[in-house]
Structure 1
């Protein structure tokens, strides 16, 4: 097997250190993923391996250095995502991925899209009045929607933010919770509060809430309202009924934006009750003014193991579906065979 060598000149040793990572852990991840050999000598990165693979790794390293120069922190999750995209031939889409800063959190952290799916989602929210974000847990659907809402509010594009979700328990009964109505529904809304606290800071959020500029409420509170000049987010939409979804989608008025998020693999509705999110995706997919953004496990930005867990659940569910289809086909074939035998017996009797 013929090997080739390429060299990349690095004029900033700090970038080289950040690229290689602590104890060269990033270097080893790239080597293991592409079966190449990487080394650094005299301000150069040396890549040794098969010609085509070396070329891909060279492009990967150039993109990674560009991201580092732009202020990105090259953690394991981000590196794994970049490696995956280059291995799947989509690395040319990555340059400039995180150029756009949506908001700066209360702790000075920049909120940016981290994956191509997130970038598509953000652009859809900017362009369309109604956007559906459908995909697995950990893809940043809720957090990015809240970030876009805060951005629109701070830019005076909307006059208030309304965030809601259905109060449905995740497969367990919590019994009768103590306190007033707000205290009873707050546990269901906690993920939304967490995102708002992180982006705005607790004091700023409470100030806006007291002035009625930000509202976090269960979905039942939306009935009978018309919301003008608002940024409205429906989270955990997979747990809405068809009637609730229709009610929600007819609440927004002039100058408003709507974002609907959900994961159709985690529906907590009673057995036999169809999800309003699944139904809406079927009914509204042909409406050009509505954007449907679908996330995949590649867009998961939590621990790398979360992506693996989602993949394994998907594989299991597909196997179960195939088994069920095979079972139904066997039943149909058995029924057809019995009908043929019955017909043959009838024909023999007639003779």
Structure 2
């Protein structure tokens, strides 16, 4: 069964951490990195996406020495809330940080996407040099009895330990060192199945490095009202006439579409055949996208513009994955193609660090 423990987290010595936290490494562009560095010389991007691995370790140790980073006196869990808007609708996603014992995937902790080797090598090297969990794994758990919901509501009545106001989110953190509450949350995960929502590379890297150690993890329930999954659209440089004909072989046109194929100035809305029992995104990759070089974008408008400009031959526009489909993935132990889900927003880096003993 999944096992979590509290930890003496290392946090910024400031109530307002807006200028110190950053997104995880895989979504930081060069221009955004420059902007983050301009906010503060202590911004977590220096640890998360450093110029070199040794500089990350040097900066972290220096910041601790200067008192910019402080270690929690008592073992704690950390309630974490992100408020944000998407298409005019307000969302509040809530979960908590803990240390999760890593294990071979497929027992009580499950992946849902395939991974690339490149990011794993990079994260392994950073971990090897720094001995720090810079950004957390993001996991989902089942909470049908609403145990977490009840506890989090009570904790939110208190003043937060730290806050942040960012361009896309407002964030709050509460340190929890009450062992009664901690034990309830630990027991809540008994006989649970944990799904890695984001951070597959970090999980695999940490498991390889520690051979079963405890990794910094953000856990949120499947039924959290603020859980938002966005699609990542596909782009192909080329597509043959035979492959275009195969679209009608594998899919049927439908207003109730699973995908939209976009050719220059032309959308084709399609749905997978009823007899196909695969998750649509998996079926797409096993047919039309099989053995193809695929590029990705989260912006539908950008996908269309890239086809219209001639940079790409076709775009495949996806729908957001339903949370029920994701729960089905866990139940059936299905592994989806890379970038099948995008949990928005990303969990910030620097809210709390975990230093390996």
TM > 0.5: no
Larger relative CO (CA 8 A, sep 6+): 1 or 2?
A: 2
TM superposition score normalised by structure 2: 0.20
Indicate the structure with greater strand content: 2
